[in-house]
Amino acid sequence: MTFSMRIILLSQWFAPEPAARVNALAAELSNKGHSVTVLTGYPNYPQGRLYLGYKMRLWSWEDHGKFRVLRMALYPDHSRSPIKRSLNYLSFWASVMALGPWLCGRADVVWAFTMHAGLPALWLRWLRRLPFVIDVADVWPETLAETGMVRPGLLLCAAGAYCRLVYKQASFVTVQSQGFRDNLLSKGVSAEKIVVVENMADDAIYHPQEPDSEFGRAHGLLGRFNVIFAGAMGLAQGLPTLIAAASKLKEIVDIQFVLVGEGSCIDDAKAMARRLCLENIRFVPHQPALLMPKFFAHAGALLVHLKRSPLFSITVPAKTQVYLASQRPIIMAVAGEGTELIERNGCGLTCLPEDPDALAAAIKDLYSQSPEQRAALGKAGRALYLQRFTKRAMVDRTESVLAAAAEGRVRVEKT
């Protein structure tokens, strides 16, 4: 075991928001004897509205038993407006940088979740000389351009310069795939500084369950081959492809698409489904993580889809690990590492992204298989999850990176 550390987890998102990586680290690192303070905003993701039970204040403290949460004021938003989204990020930065250093107490190391937290992490390093680890969930500035949040030009160049500064000042950069590592190496980031820490699913929540007939009846899932797509519903997810594929399968009355989640593109997806007069698609609002296994238990297939892009070909979307843990067959419509993972381990079927015909064909293929064949795919996925993607594996690896940063080491010991 490493020495006891005083750790600041810096993330704009935290429970009750769906931020599994941050939520797990706060609980598990404190359980391991470390002093943990979460420096975060007021919960508003993914709806862009302040959660019920919360009142916006300049700051407030929460006691979560073994760790503390310091919430900072921000402008709630998760719309498609670049101005409003920028206000959301900038207001969090301003609050954290103005008040965070004086409120969060003594610390040995900072873990910053995504490039959104890079600037406050830099500020804590310069002001209080705290080493930090930046966890890269999305490759900037490419993601900003791909999702349309920042147009090519001076602002995108500035974002690239900002990323280079963060990488240079960080003690370590953790990434979630080998493709991300290769991307950062091509940008000149030192190989010793980059550590792969793969995504995880929480073992206590995501595990095989028998279908609950009462739950299935209440949500219209009984007696259907449910193709479930869960999580964020933004530009990157390419929802028009899913709606178009549902249209191509509407003659097979057993097959039903179930979209569970919220995001900036969900209203457009609903409008498209209405225009096509589709009755084989259900939209379910964002659900607590604890309820999601009940949905997955009724799934004939769990769907992963992102737009076609070289950027997305180097990622394995975070929902993949959750799906694997749930022991249901996966349809992976993401080119690159995601497809390779499913094909190599026999966990489901794959198809090209943004291709409604290919997606419809893959769903029909899985639908035509026997229950025993589909069960075998699900079991292969569960075995892969237990081998590589448990919460313990992610926490232990992150702990070793934080210890190296706190001690001033230049490389991380293998675990």
Q: What is the pLDDT of residues 387-402, one digit of tens each?
A: 999 999 999 999 999 9
Euclidean distance between CA atoms 216 and 186, whole angstroms: 48
The pairs formed by 137-143 with CB atoms below 8 angstroms and a separation of 24 or more are 137/21, 137/113, 137/176, 137/318, 138/114, 139/180, 139/183, 139/184, 139/311, 139/314, 140/115, 142/183, 142/311, 143/236, 143/311
Domain-located, residue 357: yes
200-240: per-residue pLDDT in tens?
Answer: 999 899 999 999 999 999 999 999 999 999 999 998 899 99
Lowest mean pLDDT among 7-21, 115-129, 151-165: 151-165
313 with 396, same domain? no
Mean pLDDT of 236-246: 96
**pLDDT-based confidence at 2, cuts 50/70/90?**
low
Q: What gap in Å lies between CA 238 and CA 217, rounded to an integer?
A: 29
Q: From start to end of 138-272, where are the E strands?
A: 172-175, 194-196, 225-230, 255-260
Alpha carbon distance 136, 121 (integer Å): 13
Contact between 56 and 88 under an 8 Å Cβ cutoff? The reply is no
When pLDDT is averaged across residues 105-131 and rounded to a whole number, the result is 96
DSSP labels, 56-105: --SEEEEE-SSEEEEEE------SS-HHHHHHHHHHHHHHHHHHHHHHS-
Query: Is the same domain home to 144 and 276?
Result: no
The reply to whether 207 falls in a domain is no
Q: Are 304 and 333 in contact (CB under 8 A)?
A: yes
Q: In the structure encoding, which two tokens stand for residue 371, read together? A: 């229950």
Here the tokens at position 190 are: 């030192």
Among all chains, which residue has been given the structure tokens 């964002």? 286
Contacts of residue 401, defined as CB under 8 A and 6 or more positions apart, other chains included, come to 133, 172, 174, 195, 197, 412
Residues 146 and 223 in one domain: no
Q: Are residues 234 and 136 in the same domain?
A: no
Q: pTM for the complete prediction?
A: 0.88
Do residues 43 and 413 touch, judged by C-beta distance below 8 A?
no
pLDDT reading at 6 higher than 80: yes
Between 412 and 54, where is the model more confident?
54
Domain residue limits at 126: 6-200+390-407
* Residue 41 confidence class, pLDDT cut points 50, 70, 90: very high
DSSP structure class, residue 278: -
Residue 1's pLDDT band (boundaries 50, 70, 90)? very low
CA 239 to chain centre: 17
- Whether residue 376 sits in one domain with residue 400: no
What pLDDT is recorded for position 311?
A: 85
Rounded-to-integer distance, Cα 209 and Cα 388, Å: 21
What is the average per-residue pLDDT within 156-182?
Answer: 93
Per-residue pLDDT at 3: 81
In this structure, the answer to whether residues 274 and 372 fall within a common structural domain is yes
Confidence (pLDDT) at 413 = 76
Position 131, amino acid? P
DSSP H helices, 173-326, are 178-186, 213-218, 239-248, 266-275, 292-296, 319-325
Whether 11 maps to a domain, the answer reads yes
Predicted pLDDT of residue 178: 92
User: Within a domain: residue 174?
Assistant: yes
Contacts of 183 (CB under 8 A, 6+ apart): 139, 142, 314
pLDDT value, residue 415: 57
Tokens representing residue 5 in the block: 């550390």
- Total count of domains within the chain: 2
Could you read off the pLDDT of 352-379 as tens digits, one per residue? 999 999 999 999 999 999 999 999 999 9
